[in-house]
Amino acid sequence: MKRHVLVSCSIAALGAAAGLAPAVHAAEPAHLLAGYTAQAGAPASPERGRKLFTSQHGREWSCASCHGTLPVQIGKHASTGKPIGALAPAFDAGRFTDAAKTEKWFRRNCNDVIGRECSAGEKADVLAWLLTLKR
C-alpha cells in the first residue's frame, strides 16, 4: 500500500511539473500537495502557509476571517454568515480530495483575500499547514 501511495504521489507530481492539471479526484490531500509542490519547484512551508492564511494582504479579509485562525471547526462567511465546514482535512475528511473543487475554491478565495490567484507555492504552503492540524 505504501508503495502505491508513493507511486501515485510521484505520478501526480510529475504531471503537475509537466503543467498538467491534477486528476479531478485525488485520493488524498497529500496528492494535491505533491502536485502543488512540484509546480512550485520548492518544498512547501507550513509556517508560510499559516502566515498567508492568518494575515491580511491589503484587502478587507484574511482566510481566517471566514475559516477561523485555526480552521478546525465550522467557520462563517464574513459577509453572508453562511456556515463553512472545518477546512483542516483531519477535521473534515472530504477536504482536499477533489482537485477541481480545490482549484475552484483556491481561485475564488485567493481573489477575495489577496486580489489575485494564489501561486502553486502558496497553495502548497497553505495545504502543508492545514495538514499539520490534527485532532
45-74 pLDDT tens trace:
999 999 999 999 999 999 999 999 999 999
Specify the residue for cell string 502566515.
51
Which stretches within the chain are classed as H helix? 2-17, 29-40, 46-54, 64-67, 99-113, 120-132
Q: How far apart are CA 111 and CA 134, in angstroms?
A: 28
Per DSSP, what are the bridge partners of residue 25? 98
The whole-number average pLDDT for the span 100-126 is 96
Distances (CA, A) of 81 to 63, 74, 120: 15, 11, 29
Cα 106 from chain centroid? 7
The whole-number average pLDDT for the span 89-98 is 95
Q: In this predicted structure, what is the pLDDT of residue 27? A: 66
Contact 27, 8 (CB under 8 A): yes
Confidence of residue 78 (pLDDT cuts 50, 70, 90): confident
Q: Would you kindly state where each structural domain of the chain is located, as residue ranges?
A: 2-132
Prediction pTM value: 0.80
Q: How far apart are CA 118 and CA 108, in angstroms?
A: 10
The CATH code of domain 2-132 reads 1.10.760.10
* Burial of residue 21, with CB atoms counted within 10 A of its CB: 0-12 exposed, 13-18 middle, 19 or more buried: exposed
The predicted-structure confidence for 15-42, as pLDDT tens digits, reads as follows 444 444 444 454 699 999 999 999 999 9
The whole-number average pLDDT for the span 94-99 is 95
